[in-house]
């Protein structure tokens, strides 16, 4: 960049007021779905001489947009300028978008002011890459350090880290943040090489492995020494873009399962690819259906809470490796394996009850509790009129009833 262009850029940045920057950088952050604030340790500033914020009680109260994304946090980018040129990213170097950049002080003041007005319960901070990965990571860590140390902020902080940055900087981020995350970006290494050639799957996974090791080391030390500081107590998460490459749902599910097993992730988020202005010709012209994103989240839940293996969910996909959009994956699996049903609700193990479409974790736990004291019997009314009763008390669940709701 020559001096004339550099002066113009800096003059443009200086001419933007805080409101204009917020409008640009909050909008630029909307494509990152991984902003849920669950799972952290309890902290509260009440009853203390210093501090502000909380992560318990009313400190973190989830608010969700219609598409299911959490909006309870101040979710912004430090800057939407970037030296990378990833094809799928609206903030890529070659993109013709309006640029803005916050200073560290501006992000700190915004977070505190919004918190005092009860607009938000915490901060989700990500950034484009400016100058270098290390410089950008230093700025992100500086925000978290100022909030925690200078202002005793005890609310929720989620930092999006940069895999190419110095590991010491990423470790510092974990000492100030409740949750840290690195995006794997795309489900396959081939897709990442084609759409984001400046990024590397081995580097991303190496950074995720470091964060897993640091977290385990801190937990072990904390068992012996209570004064040991926490390292990202809410764990780490990641995000995949769905539909930007040719990966099918079967490959995405396998990748998620691998990430959970290898790196002990708290969450994998899925974000349906959205066409962007001046898009690269290598990208699809249409976005995938949002229902596909929803089905992947349902599959993720089946692996995490219902005891399904990734290969079992893959059995519910069609010949092209895609999950059905008209019915949920649990029902699709049950229809594929009709010989597993009916299930005797009075004798079946918890694992078998969790396989029954229509029964969730809480319903199954209620059944197990109730049958300790009495035998459960079917209701005399028909299924369509007694769905609630049948869900909790039926002694036989037949595949014929499943097919009623698969149409």
Quick check: is 130 in a domain?
yes
In a domain, 313, yes or no: no
Q: Which of 214, 237, 260 is the last residue of a domain?
A: 237
Residue 180 sits in the same domain as residue 43: yes
Q: Are 184 and 267 in contact (CB under 8 A)?
A: no
Q: Specify the pLDDT at position 46.
A: 52
Residues 205 and 84 in one domain: yes
In a domain, 280, yes or no: no
Is the distance from CB of 265 to CB of 215 less than 8 angstroms?
no
CA distance 139 to 273: 28
pLDDT for 285 equals 78
Q: Please provide residue 327's backbone torsions phi and psi, each rounded to the nearest 5 degrees.
A: -135, 160
Three-state DSSP state, 222: helix
The verdict on residue 106 lying in a domain is: yes
- Same domain? 62 vs 175: yes
Examine the domain organization and report whether 72 and 211 are in the same domain: yes
Same domain, 216 and 356: no
Domain membership flag for residue 11:
yes
pLDDT at 308: 97
The b-or-e profile of 197-206 (16+ CB within 10 A means b, else e) is eebebeebbe
In angstroms, the CA 303 to CA 32 distance is 23
In a domain, 307, yes or no: no
Q: Please give the pLDDT value at position 230.
A: 84
Residues of the chain with pLDDT under 50: 1-6, 55-71, 380-407
| Boundaries of domain holding 175 | 3-237
Predicted confidence (pLDDT) per residue in 79-135, tens digit: 999 999 998 888 888 888 889 999 999 999 999 998 888 778 889 999 999 989 999
pLDDT score for 378:
72
Please indicate, yes or no, whether residues 116 and 229 belong to a single structural domain of this protein.
yes
CA distances from 252 to 260, 325, 375 (A): 12, 16, 42
Domain boundary, last residue among 202, 219, 237: 237
Which of 206, 237, 268 lies at the terminal end of a domain, its last residue?
A: 237
Residue 310 domain-assigned? no
pLDDT in tens, 302-327: 999 999 999 999 999 999 999 999 99
* Residue 96: per-residue pLDDT: 86
Structural domain contains residue 324: no
Which tokens sit at 128? 């484009």
Q: Same structural domain for residues 32 and 177?
A: yes
Give CB contacts under 8 A, 24+ apart, made by 311-314.
313/253, 314/250, 314/253, 314/254
Same structural domain, 11 and 129: yes
The β-bridge partners of 348 are none
Examine the domain organization and report whether 342 and 231 are in the same domain: no
pTM: 0.82
Looking at the structure of the chain, the number of domains it has is: 2
DSSP state string for 276-314: -TT--TTS-SSPPPHHHHHHHHHHHHHHHHS---HHHHH
Taking 3-state DSSP, the helix, strand and coil percentages for the chain, each rounded to the nearest 5, stand at 45, 10, 45
């Amino acid at each position: 960049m020559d001096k004339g262009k550099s002066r113009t850029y800096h003059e443009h940045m200086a001419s933007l007021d805080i409101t204009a920057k917020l409008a640009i950088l909050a909008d630029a952050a909307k494509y990152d779905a991984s902003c849920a604030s669950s799972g952290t340790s309890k902290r509260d500033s009440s009853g203390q001489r210093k501090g502000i914020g909380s992560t318990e009680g009313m400190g973190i109260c989830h608010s969700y947009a219609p598409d299911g994304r959490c909006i309870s946090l101040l979710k912004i980018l430090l800057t939407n300028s970037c030296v990378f040129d990833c094809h799928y990213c609206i903030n890529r170097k070659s993109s013709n978008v309006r640029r803005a950049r916050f200073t560290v002080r501006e992000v700190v003041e915004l977070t505190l002011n919004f918190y005092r007005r009860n607009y938000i319960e915490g901060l989700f901070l990500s950034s484009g890459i400016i100058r270098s990965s290390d410089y950008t990571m230093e700025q992100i860590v500086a925000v978290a350090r100022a909030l925690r140390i200078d202002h005793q902020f005890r609310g929720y902080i989620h930092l999006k880290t940069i895999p190419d940055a110095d590991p010491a900087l990423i470790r510092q981020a974990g000492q100030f943040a409740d949750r840290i995350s690195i995006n794997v970006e795309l489900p396959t290494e081939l897709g990442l090489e084609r759409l984001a050639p400046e990024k590397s799957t081995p580097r991303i996974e190496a950074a995720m492995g470091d964060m897993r090791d640091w977290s385990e080391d801190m937990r072990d030390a904390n068992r012996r020494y209570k004064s040991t500081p926490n390292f990202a107590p809410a764990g780490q998460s990641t995000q995949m873009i769905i539909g930007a490459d040719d990966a099918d749902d079967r490959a995405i599910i396998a990748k998620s399962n691998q990430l959970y097993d290898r790196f002990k992730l708290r969450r994998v988020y899925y974000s349906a690819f959205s066409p962007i202005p001046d898009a690269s010709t290598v990208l699809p012209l249409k976005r995938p259906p949002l229902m596909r994103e929803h089905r992947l989240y349902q599959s993720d839940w089946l692996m995490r809470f219902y005891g399904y293996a990734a290969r079992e969910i893959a059995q519910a996909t069609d010949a092209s490796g895609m999950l059905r959009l008209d019915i949920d994956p649990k029902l699709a699996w049950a229809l594929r394996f009709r010989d597993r049903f009916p299930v005797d609700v009075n004798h079946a193990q918890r694992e078998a009850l969790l396989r029954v479409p229509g029964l969730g974790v809480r319903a199954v736990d209620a059944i197990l509790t109730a049958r300790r004291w009495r035998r459960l019997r079917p209701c005399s009314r028909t299924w369509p009129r007694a769905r609630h009763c049948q869900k909790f008390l039926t002694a036989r669940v037949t595949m014929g009833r499943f097919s009623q709701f698969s149409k």
